[in-house]
Structure 1
Amino acid sequence: MIDKKKIIDRFISYIKIDTQSDPESKTTPSTEKQWDLARKLAEELAEMGMEEVSIDENAYVMASLPANVSHQVPVIGFISHFDTSPDFNATNINPQIIEDYDGKDIVLNKEHDIVLSSEYFDDLKQYKGQTLITTDGTSLLSADDKAGITEIMTAMQYLLEHPEIPHGKIRVGFTPDEEIGRGAHKFDVKKFGAEWAYTMDGSQIGELEFENFNAAKAVISVRGKGVHPGYAKDKMINSQYIAVDFINSLPRLETPEHTEDRQGFFHLSDMKGAVEETILEYIIRDHDLNQFEARKQMMQDLASEICSQYNSDCIAVEITDQYFNMREKIEPVMHIVNLAEKAMEAVNVKPLLKPIRGGTDGAQLSYMGLPCPNIFAGGHNFHGKYEYVPVESMQKATEVIVKLAELTSEEFKENDL
């Protein structure tokens, strides 16, 4: 059994280090403070006895657990990111530990009347009787993805302390800047040297994911003409009104708040406007590649239509692909997903196969030649003050890693016979 107190202590030691990434930065990592945790992880890996410990010029951390069996076993890997989302305050995280959770509302911050409601966040009810770690309402928790890091580190230490558990060579990797879409950009797949890997970056216990959104970012620049409002008749063109036309012409119910499962969407993530110019920023998401391409074309066609109405080039659309659905790369090697299912069942976790309504480093890594399904890390309500993680879920995720190492060794020993 994985020690509960060690999990809690390790997790809290990581979340106390501010590692928030910055989408406006051009460096890797995007913030200097990410180095603090990267260096700590490298030091801890070396201290616990891991081999080939390295930290490169971009703060990517890697290490190896040598095989303890004589037969040939594919090298597998486990990966998590150490940066924290820029969406909410991540400084001075002050976690609260709720022992033997009673299934009711949790007051995160009495002074500001911030409550983690078990009615609104009904996933809470499945963790009655367990130990929860929550925020104090003033920050996020950064279980995304320091829970994953905790689980990988704890599993490696457990395997080192229990050499009777057979396993092949295991590689671990920790990355910066996943939250801003760059986590895999400078990941050295060749150096990592695994045949396949798993990101420990999912949410609730049991999640196992091998498909995700195709993703793109769209920047819509709307140009107008500024004229003194007192003399604007037939002269002024207000870019903000044109932008509103563009927004309202997209399918109103194809937005994040109206979609689920494999349904795609357009999400207006930011807008800044004045008479002369308005900038809209969208993200485009769809699991189906054809529908994804159709969404991008819809934006281009809509811009052309509005431009023709104004008889001018008043809208420019710039679309940049971000990542693609890893299902295409995982399906040819589905045994790696089947192994993860078997590992979960072996430690009494019910596998929940579901599509990711987002992306992980694993999506990009899969297209870089490292097939990489995603396994639960246990947290809920990421990127905000209502984030929490059940400690028992982190324990089970750690057990899944250990069991995956063992099952991979057993499967390939059988295949050799």
Structure 2
Amino acid sequence: MVNKDRLINKFIKYIKIDTQSAPSSNSTPSTAKQWDLANLLVDELKEMGMQNVSIDEHAYVMATLPANVAHKVPVIGFVSHFDTTPDFSGKNVNPQIIEDYDGNDIILNQEKNIILSPDYFEDLAQYKGQTIITTDGTTLLGADDKAGITEIMTAMQYLLDNPQIEHGEIKVCFTPDEEIGRGAHKFDVQKFGAEWAYTMDGSQIGELEYENFNAASAVVKVIGKSVHPGYAKDKMINSLYIAQDFISSLPRLETPEHTEGRQGFFHLSNMKGDVEETELHYIIRDHDRKHFEARKKMILDLGQDLCTQYERDCINIEIKDQYFNMKEKIEPVKHIVDLAEKAMKAVGVKPVLKPIRGGTDGAQLSYKGLPCPNIFAGGHNFHGKYEYVPVESMQKAVEVIVKLAELTSEKYKK
């Protein structure tokens, strides 16, 4: 159904545009270079014949595929983000195309001895015989989420080229800054005008997700007192030692490297300091809302306990909620997940329903009134040099989008 070479060429064109976002920036988009891909998408949407193509002052790109049926069908949407993570370079991406993958190690970079191996990344083995797009070992690939953009664009073109496939009105949106948690912040849900939508931002083929972490950030500032070490007895208070006490007092096995599934965690993501002041940056995650609130309380209580222990106000903690589990908003409209599951089965994809150990734009959008489950885009090993995507998974994602449009129309046909 989907022309493989055309799909590959479109994807490579997108990933070669550097769109890395920056958490230190207060603007939206957080980096000016994100405009490059956003503006290209606007031009392509207009060229293919999409309607109401727009880009706002924050680089949110929206467009409409008009309905081609007379009966009333709910307006549905598809969403992907065009920024890439600040965690790894997205500049000068040089993809490698591995045809008919033989199931063995893939040398990403001979000079630096960087190897993508199915012995370490077990999922790779299931794609034997397929076409794999990898990095050259020096950058990320950008399949998160330019694979999703490629799939949405390709699916809209296919529906335009095949008007015999009946569908209702379809909205698409491409967003900035998802990787720094802001992708939905300035998303105009009312302007978008969909009853529900799907983010094409999942990983391996078949993923279908409508649960995600509740998420918060915590900044822990530990205040000490710096005194010349030669005269420090009973005077110096070393903030590094208090910070060490704080770190070791949290449950050691409730960290990302020791948890899976719906298990929550505390993650110390950054720390800096000296005798006078130490700052700890945590992220707090849990699927269960009560457990999530308990984790935040544990952080605050621990700070108070240490202040009591050291007999001084030595710890200040700031906790900010980031997003919540979209399950609460999607369960009342579970039929939208059922439709996606039915579409996958119809195109020969086995649905894999599982909770997201992270968040997507869809989580925040669901709380803004746009229920938004997450569908696979096909990539693996996001945010690093081992990222790859099987082209056949991308083709299937396109088929799922097309089938979803068709099934939604059928469901509401009298």
Question: Which TM bucket (shorter chain)?
Answer: over 0.9
C-alpha distance in 1 between matches for 2:254 and 2:102: 37
Matched with 2:91 is: 91
- 1:221-300 counterparts in 2 under 5 A? 221-300=221-300
The amino acid across from 1:232 in the alignment is: A
Partners of 2:139 and 2:231 lie apart in 1 by 49
In 2, the alpha carbon distance for the partners of 1:11 and 1:230 equals 62
State the alpha-carbon separation in 2 of the partners of residues 6 and 169 from structure 1: 25
**1:317-345 Cα deviation digits (max 9, x unpaired):** 10000000000000000000000000000
Rounded to whole Å, the distance in 1 between the matches of 2:172 and 2:271 is 40
Secondary structure in structure 2 of the residue aligned to 1:337:
helix
1:85 maps to a residue whose letter is T
Q: Distance in 1 between matches of 2:313 and 2:90?
A: 42
Deviation at 1:243, TM superposition (A): 0.4
Tell me, what secondary structure is at the counterpart of 1:17?
coil
Residue in 1 that maps onto 2:393: 393
Report the counterpart of residue 187 of structure 2 in structure 1: 187
Whichever residue aligns with residue 173 of structure 2, its letter is: G
CA distance in 2, matches of 1:94, 1:312: 55
Matched position secondary structure for 1:269: strand
- Give, in whole Å, the separation in 2 of the partners of 1:238 and 1:60: 47
1:177 and 2:189 correspond: no
SS of 1:78's partner is strand
Task: After TM superposition, list the pairs within 5 Å mapping 1:194-213 onto structure 2.
Answer: 194-213=194-213
Question: Counterpart of 1:75?
Answer: 75
Match of 1:163 in 2: 163
- Per-residue deviation, 1:251: 0.2
> What CA distance in whole angstroms lies between the structure 2 residues aligned with 1:398 and 1:57?
29
Residue of structure 2 in register with 1:64 after alignment = 64
Supply the distance in 1 between the matched residues of 2:230 and 2:395 (Cα, whole angstroms).
68
Structure 2: how far apart are the matches of 1:177 and 1:2?
Answer: 29
Q: Which amino acid aligns with 2:340?
A: A
* Cα displacement string for residues 174-202 of structure 1 (whole angstroms, at most 9, x for unaligned residues): 00000000000000000000000000000
Q: Distance in 1 between matches of 2:394 and 2:24?
A: 32
2:412 is paired with a residue whose SS is helix
Question: Could you say what secondary structure the match of 2:92 adopts?
Answer: coil
Report the 3-state secondary structure (helix = DSSP H, G, I; strand = E; otherwise coil) of the residue aligned with 1:278. Answer: strand
Partner in structure 1 of residue 384 of structure 2:
384
Paired with 1:99 and 1:224, the residues of 2 have a C-alpha distance of 59
**Amino acid of the residue matched to residue 199 of structure 1?**
T
The amino acid that maps onto 2:306 is: I
Identity %: 78
Structure 1 counterpart of 2:331, one-letter code: E
Offset of 1:155 from its aligned partner? 0.1
CA distance in structure 1 between the partners assigned to 2:228 and 2:332 by the alignment: 63
Find the aligned partners of 1:116 and 1:241 in 2 and give their Cα distance.
40
1:249-273 Cα shifts (integer Å, max 9, x gaps): 0000000000000000000000001
Q: Supply the distance in 2 between the matched residues of 1:105 and 1:278 (Cα, whole angstroms).
A: 43
Query: In structure 1, how many angstroms separate the alpha carbons of the residues matched to 2:100 and 2:165?
Result: 32
Match of 2:121 in 1: 121
Q: Distance in 2 between matches of 1:96 and 1:61?
A: 29
- Alignment deviations for residues 293-340 of structure 1 (CA, whole Å, 9 cap, x no partner): 000000000001111111001011100000000000000000000000
1: distance between equivalents of 2:361 and 2:330? 14
Mapped to 2, the partners of 1:284 and 1:61 lie a distance apart of 31
Q: Distance in 1 between matches of 2:388 and 2:233?
A: 56
Q: Which amino acid aligns with 1:61?
A: V
**1:148: which partner in 2?**
148
Which deviations, in whole Å up to 9, do the C-alpha atoms of 1:1-56 show, x marking residues without a partner?
Answer: 11111110000000000000000000000000000000000000000000000000
Cα deviation for residue 117 of structure 1 reads 1.2
Q: Distance in 2 between matches of 1:216 and 1:85?
A: 19
Alpha-carbon separation, structure 2, partners of 1:195 and 1:203: 25
Distance 2:75 2:88 in 1: 37
What SS does the corresponding residue of 1:100 show, helix, strand or coil? Answer: coil
| Secondary structure, aligned partner of 1:215 | strand
> In 2, Cα distance between the equivalents of 1:91 and 1:245?
40
1:81 Cα deviation from its structure 2 partner: 0.2
Structure 1 stretches of 5 or more lacking a match? none
Deviations 1:208-258 (Å, cap 9, x if unpaired)?
A: 000100000000000000001111111111100100100000000000000
> 1:307 aligns to what SS in structure 2?
helix
Give the corresponding residue for 2:333: 333
The corresponding residue for 2:11 is 11
What is the rounded CA distance, in whole Å, between the counterparts of 1:241 and 1:141 in structure 2? 40
SS at match of 2:111: coil
What is the match of residue 39 of structure 2?
39
Whole-angstrom CA distance in 2 between matches of 1:17 and 1:96: 16
One-letter code aligned to 2:301: D
Which residue type is aligned with residue 95 of structure 2? Answer: P
> In structure 2, the residue corresponding to 1:336 is in which secondary structure?
helix
CA distance in structure 2 between the partners assigned to 1:134 and 1:313 by the alignment: 51
Q: In the alignment, which residue of structure 2 is the partner of 1:134?
A: 134
Question: How many angstroms apart in 1 are the aligned matches of 2:76 and 2:392?
Answer: 25
Q: Secondary structure at the match of 1:199?
A: strand
Q: Which residue of structure 1 aligns with residue 107 of structure 2?
A: 107
For 1:75-98, what per-residue CA distance to the aligned partner results, in whole angstroms no more than 9, with x for missing partners? 000000000000011110000000
Residue in structure 2 matched with residue 374 of structure 1 by the alignment? 374
Name the CA distance, whole Å, in 1 between partners of 2:307 and 2:117: 47
Supply the distance in 1 between the matched residues of 2:392 and 2:135 (Cα, whole angstroms): 17
Aligned residue for 2:71, secondary structure, equals: coil
Other structure's SS at 2:140 match = coil
Please give the secondary structure, in 1, of the residue aligned with 2:166.
coil
* Residue of structure 2 in register with 1:356 after alignment: 356
Counterparts of residues 295-314 of structure 1 (less than 5 Å): 295-314=295-314
